[in-house]
Amino acid sequence: MKPDDTLFRREAARLLATLTRAFGVENLALAEDVVQETLAKAFEAWSYNGVPPHYSALLARAAKNRALDIFRRERTARKFAPDVRRLIESEWTLRPALDAMFLPDALKDDELRMMFTCCHPRLGEDVQVALVLHLLCALGVDEIASAFLVSPAAMEKRLSRGKKLLADSGHLFELTAADFLPRLSAVHRALYLLFSEGYHGASALAVVREDLCWDAMRLVRLLVDHAPAATPATYALAALMWLLAARLPARIDDAGNLKDLFEQDRSLWDEELLAEGTRLLEQSASGEVLTEYHVEAGIAGMHATAGNAHETRWGDIVELYDVLMRIRPSPVVALNRCMAIAQHQGPAKGLEAVRGIEGASRLAAYPFYPAVLGELELRRGRTEAARGHFEEARRLARNDGERRFLDHRIEGCARKALS
């Protein structure tokens, strides 16, 4: 996994989860203030000779002491939930209660609780993902807005809508609740979307986007480590993320150019991540429910074990895409299926499949729709048609990486036409 350049974010998320439990979710804003203050102090102190070895414990203690002060000061002035109020009534209960809350194991459960709370069924998936990024990955409004290519004002609105609903709901999700499993599915979905945004997203900054992938992996790891949440679907989702993340080093070359699966130098794929992904994939193979994560991880696993595009078992991959289309059909999945068909049976069959995609109008703004058409036409030797599609894709491209990628394709067509 990546080194510690997200230390402040990780600690902020941990503290926020615990402080929110201490103060009650209706006092989320207060918890956020305390986190900000605690970290600001640490920032001042550590800017001299670095982060001390026991930083996590130091931060927890500092946050706990702030919480103690606040409880003493605002015991009566502020509205606390009944169970919190009982604990803070006297010094005899306050101190031990807070000590227990800030133990390392408790901290971990708090993050899980927060994660499940963010995926409240009354919130749209876009709001859930934004909340996960804000509350569990401690990304600022502007940072999230830039990752999703929306204005900071719009993201602010999305987040405050979500936070208001959480505050109004009056309590954090309990990990022993009867609706644990349905909520777990929502969590899977949110983490999947978070990872995908990092992997395929529109933001121009590769660094911002990779961070989203690592964040999603950190959170799915929390699920894997918490027995009731470690279902086959959780393992499958984790496997998918690890197997895809292994390809990250090969996706962008030294010149900053995007490389598709066929052009990637597979020797750059991260072997440790691949091995862990494969292990997770094996662990996912139990139970009776086949989820979309199983299928997608299965596809990623086939690519991982193939030495190159020619050695890949495309027929099997087409079959997996067929299954995926039954479980969770989408135009993007359909498009990927067409590419696999083209690999398996040739570009003409691939094109035929593209034309047969239902709901292709939903792909109208998706640059890789015309890009796939271009790719397949090019393989058939119809350079002029291919070039038209690539130019269309170039118009739809969402960032410089994509534009450069398509410029190369257009140039390639021009060269072919001349020769």
Q: State the Cα torsion 135-10-220-251 to the nearest 10°.
A: 110
Burial label, 74 (beta-carbon count in 10 A; 0-12, 13-18, 19+): middle
Contact assessment for residue 162 and residue 123, using Cβ atoms and an 8 Å cutoff: yes
308 binds another protein (CB under 8 A): no
Taking the least distance from each CB to another protein, the nearer of 216 and 238 is: 216
Taking the least distance from each CB to another protein, the nearer of 50 and 307 is: 50
140 binds another protein (CB under 8 A): yes
Span of 46-54, 163-171, 271-279, 305-313 interacting with another protein by CB under 8 A? 46-54
Taking the least distance from each CB to another protein, the nearer of 43 and 262 is: 43
Taking the least distance from each CB to another protein, the nearer of 5 and 105 is: 5
Count of residues near another protein by CB under 8 A = 24
143 binds another protein (CB under 8 A): yes
Cα angle 16, 18, 21 (rounded to 5 degrees) comes to: 105
Contact assessment for residue 279 and residue 242, using Cβ atoms and an 8 Å cutoff: no
Taking the least distance from each CB to another protein, the nearer of 14 and 251 is: 14
43 binds another protein (CB under 8 A): yes
Query: Measured between alpha carbons, how far is 128 from 193 in angstroms, rounded to an integer?
Result: 10
45 binds another protein (CB under 8 A): yes
Number of Cβ atoms within 10 Å of the Cβ of 414: 12
Which one of residues 19, 25, 30, 39 is an interface residue with another protein (CB under 8 A)? 39
55 binds another protein (CB under 8 A): no
Contact assessment for residue 380 and residue 347, using Cβ atoms and an 8 Å cutoff: yes
* Residue with token string 């989203």: 212
Span of 44-52, 272-280, 307-315, 338-346 interacting with another protein by CB under 8 A? 44-52
Contact assessment for residue 250 and residue 268, using Cβ atoms and an 8 Å cutoff: yes
138 binds another protein (CB under 8 A): yes
Which one of residues 12, 31, 60, 304 is an interface residue with another protein (CB under 8 A)? 12
262 binds another protein (CB under 8 A): no
Q: How far is the CB of 47 from another protein (least distance, A)?
A: 4
Q: Which residues of 208-233 are buried (b: 16+ CB within 10 A; e: fewer)?
A: bbbbbbbbbbbbbebbbeeeebebbb
Taking the least distance from each CB to another protein, the nearer of 158 and 387 is: 158
Q: How far is the CB of 215 from another protein (least distance, A)?
A: 11
Query: Measured between alpha carbons, how far is 133 from 140 in angstroms, rounded to an integer?
Result: 8
Span of 62-70, 138-146, 234-242, 360-368 interacting with another protein by CB under 8 A? 138-146
50 binds another protein (CB under 8 A): yes
Taking the least distance from each CB to another protein, the nearer of 12 and 304 is: 12
Q: How far is the CB of 277 from another protein (least distance, A)?
A: 27
DSSP-derived secondary structure letter, 258 = B
Taking the least distance from each CB to another protein, the nearer of 11 and 110 is: 11
Q: Which residues contact 326 (CB under 8 A, 6 or more apart)?
A: none
Burial label, 293 (beta-carbon count in 10 A; 0-12, 13-18, 19+): buried
118 binds another protein (CB under 8 A): no
Taking the least distance from each CB to another protein, the nearer of 133 and 341 is: 133
Q: How many residues does the chain have?
A: 419
Q: How far is the CB of 152 from another protein (least distance, A)?
A: 12
3 binds another protein (CB under 8 A): no
Contact assessment for residue 320 and residue 299, using Cβ atoms and an 8 Å cutoff: yes
Query: Measured between alpha carbons, how far is 259 from 265 in angstroms, rounded to an integer?
Result: 9
Query: Measured between alpha carbons, how far is 318 from 343 in angstroms, rounded to an integer?
Result: 9
Q: How far is the CB of 280 from another protein (least distance, A)?
A: 28
Taking the least distance from each CB to another protein, the nearer of 32 and 276 is: 32
SS3 252: strand
Which one of residues 40, 103, 153, 289 is an interface residue with another protein (CB under 8 A)? 40
Number of Cβ atoms within 10 Å of the Cβ of 54: 10
Chain contacts with another protein (rule: CB under 8 A)? 5-9, 11-12, 39-40, 42-51, 138-140, 142-143
